[in-house]
Amino acid sequence: MLHIGINGRSLFRLMTGVQRYAFEVTRELAGMAGDDLRVSVFAGREGRGDRSGLPLRPGLLPAGGGAKGLLWEQAVLRRMAARAGVDVLFNPGNVAPVALRIPQVVTIHDLAFMVYPQFFSHSFASWYRFVIPRVARESSAVIAVSENTRSDLVAILDIDPSRIAVIPPAASRSFSQPVKREEIERVRTLYKLPQRFFLSVSSLEPRKNLRRLIQAYRILPDPVTEEHGLVLVGAGNRVFADPDIAAILRRDGRGSVVSPGYIPAEDLPAIYRMATALVFPSLYEGFGLPVVEAMAASTPVITSNRSSLPEVAGKAAVLIDPESIEELAAAMELMATNSGTRNLLVERGKLRAARFTWERTGREVLGVLRAVASGEPLPAPGPPGA
């Protein structure tokens, strides 16, 4: 029997892209447990009383953010995994114990901390620049969420390509399911959203390029801003929050810019369904999960022509230069005024999103874990998203 241990530190933190990946893959792996597969999810004391149904093994110490979380990951987790006798440890959230004697696999979502170190706090960037290259080189295999991340791992960290498996994430099933009108109106009222709006879903960090997005919105023609607001969904934190975003939002300007902050996952499908388009002009992404979520929710997408985003979007989105405010504004005006283009992107987007499933992600992650545990080469990848 194969016994997989999972680093559950990400499962009890604010649900953003990496945390969503960790939860969905963990759930898929746990669902495949049976006569020949056992799964143990190691967590801190935050996991006590959890009702997710996951096979949790919570400990006594916290495993959240900050120094306590790092201590748990580097010291407590290794002891928990050794005592449980796991054959391989899976780390879904970028970081893993260093110098671990048990075979392990780590998913690295992106190398933003190396490509754009100026966008992170000094302490965070320094820790990641120390630990992630070491973990990537020590791990038996590395999972990259896109070909772009794989290329960065090879070019920047000099990781052997034969040790990297590219396995993309997906949108949760809730995004492709119908949303009742009453639910849409409940969410609209709860977050005080305008009737029509452009939508941004991202953390409030400089890499997400929200300053240019706001500038682009404010140069749109009057009829567009009179009819459409701009809704910025997401929160910042002390690691990489953009301190100037709040000041920009307070400035008088044309149109209506609304920032409801962090919104829980259960309300996001309704918000996507309301939007005229998702606008995701990020400067750099390992994958860009909101792009696939929007496509699954029948929402047209405008996104960047950089990093992984063309790879993820294919021909199902309008790709723009994220540093061109004028190009971004032109794409937003197109979405607001051309129903034919919107409808075409909706149909292409639904087909595109259907290529990414958590079932496939979980199955391919399990294949990598089995190969590592048995000392075999990594399995050949499945059909690409492109």
Inter-residue contact 4 to 87 (CB < 8 Å): yes
| Same fold for the pair 2-170+357-374 and 173-353 | yes
Beta strands at 197-201 and 164-166: parallel, antiparallel or unpaired: unpaired
Other C-beta atoms closer than 10 Å to the C-beta of 134 total: 14
Distances (CA, A) of 44 to 8, 10, 47, 221, 246: 8, 10, 6, 52, 34
Residue ranges covered by each domain of the chain: 2-170+357-374, 173-353
CA 47/CA 200 separation, integer angstroms: 31
Q: How many residues does the chain have?
A: 386
Architecture of the domain made up of 173-353: 3-Layer(aba) Sandwich (3.40)
Inter-residue contact 228 to 336 (CB < 8 Å): yes
Q: Which residues are 166's β-sheet partners? A: 144
CA 196/CA 21 separation, integer angstroms: 30
> Could you list the pLDDT tens digit for every one of the 386 residues in the chain?
999 999 999 998 878 889 999 999 999 999 999 999 999 999 998 888 777 889 999 988 888 777 788 899 999 999 999 999 999 999 999 999 999 999 999 999 999 999 999 888 888 889 999 999 999 999 999 999 999 999 999 999 999 999 999 999 999 999 999 999 999 999 999 999 999 999 999 988 899 999 999 999 999 999 999 999 999 999 765 555 566 666 666 565 656 899 999 999 999 999 999 999 999 999 999 999 999 999 999 999 999 999 999 999 999 999 999 999 999 999 999 999 999 999 999 999 999 999 999 999 999 999 999 999 999 999 876 554 54
Burial (CB count within 10 angstroms: exposed 0-12, middle 13-18, buried 19+), residue 305: middle
Superfamily of structural domain 2-170+357-374: Glycogen Phosphorylase B; (3.40.50.2000)
pTM: 0.93
Question: Could you give the count of Cα atoms lying within 13 Å of 145 in the half-sphere of its Cβ?
Answer: 29
